[in-house]
Amino acid sequence: MGQKVHPYGFRVIFNKNWHSKWFAKREYATLLHEDLKLRKELKAQLHGLNAMVSKIDIERAADKVTVRIFTARPGIVIGRKGAEIDKLREELQARLKRPVSVDIQEIKKPEVDAQLVAEGVAQQLERRIAFRRAMRKAEEAAIRFGARGFKIKVSGRLNGAEIARTEDFLSGQMPLQTIRAGVDYGFAEAHTTYGIIGVKVWVNQGEAALETVKR
Q: What does the pLDDT look like over 9-30, one tens digit per residue? A: 888 888 888 999 999 889 899 9
pLDDT tens per residue, range 206-215: 875 555 555 4
Spatial distance between the Cα atoms of 15 and 213, rounded to a whole number of angstroms? 6
Main-chain dihedrals φ then ψ at residue 44, nearest 5 degrees: -65, -40
Q: Pick from 206, 196, 179, 205: which is nearest to 12 by CA?
A: 179
**185 vs 3, more confident:** 185
What is the pTM (predicted TM-score) of this model? 0.89
pLDDT in tens, 129-167: 999 999 999 999 999 999 999 999 999 999 889 999 999
Evaluate whether 119 touches 188 at the Cβ level (below 8 Å): yes
CB 3 within 8 A of CB 199: no
Every domain of the chain and the residues it spans: 7-106, 110-209
pLDDT at 211: 56
Say which CATH topology domain 7-106 has: GMP Synthetase; Chain A, domain 3 (3.30.300)
Q: Which fold has domain 110-209?
A: Ribosomal protein S3 C-terminal domain (3.30.1140)
